[in-house]
């Protein structure tokens, strides 16, 4: 398998891995948000009833309800912060690094191939002016290409 095809396979696999991890994190966040919502709802209902009855004996019903509402908002905010704490970038950083290295390697290989193609074109153009002297100039890049193709296999 050549370097180019290996790098393309690497890029494809890392992109799939990155997508899977992002989907996994989103699924986990959704599950945590759902659990937090259910827990918060049941806890809020039971806590509100019990605290309202307890606060009503020492303060007015309106003050007791306001205090409970504030506590509910704080609790819900804490649940959301816990669920959002997961960071996708930390989990996919190694895969992104491998993908970027493969892309850089492909770019380098394409630049080398472009330079070799330019040498061959230049050698073919020089045949017109000096047919005998440019035969060696034409053969050297072609031999290099053959050697590289054999060594990649």
Q: Give the model confidence (pLDDT) of 132-148 as tens digits.
A: 666 666 667 777 777 87
Q: What is the pTM of this model?
A: 0.42
Find how far residue 77's CA is from the centre of its chain: 28
> Distance between CA 70 and CA 75 in Å, rounded?
9
- What single DSSP character describes residue 112? H
For 82-105, how does the pLDDT look when each residue is reduced to its tens digit (9 = 90+)? 878 877 777 778 878 888 888 888
Task: Per-residue pLDDT tens, the chain, 153 aa: give them.
Answer: 577 778 888 888 888 888 888 888 889 999 998 998 898 788 778 877 888 888 888 988 888 888 888 888 888 898 788 878 877 777 778 878 888 888 888 888 888 888 888 877 777 777 677 666 666 666 677 777 778 777 765
């Amino acid at each position: 398998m050549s370097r180019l095809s290996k790098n393309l396979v690497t890029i494809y696999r890392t992109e799939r891995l990155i997508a899977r991890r992002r989907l996994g994190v989103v699924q986990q966040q959704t599950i945590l948000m759902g659990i937090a919502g259910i827990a918060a709802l049941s806890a809020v209902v039971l806590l509100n009833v019990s605290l309202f009855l307890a606060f009503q004996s020492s303060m007015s019903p309106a003050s007791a309800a306001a205090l409970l509402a504030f506590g509910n908002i704080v609790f819900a905010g804490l649940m959301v912060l816990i669920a959002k704490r997961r960071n996708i970038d930390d989990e996919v950083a190694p895969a992104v690094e491998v993908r970027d290295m493969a892309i850089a390697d492909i770019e380098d290989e394409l630049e080398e191939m472009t330079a070799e193609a330019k040498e061959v074109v230049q050698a073919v153009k020089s045949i017109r002016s000096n047919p005998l002297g440019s035969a060696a100039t034409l053969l050297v890049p072609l031999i290099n290409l053959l050697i590289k193709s054999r060594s990649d296999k």
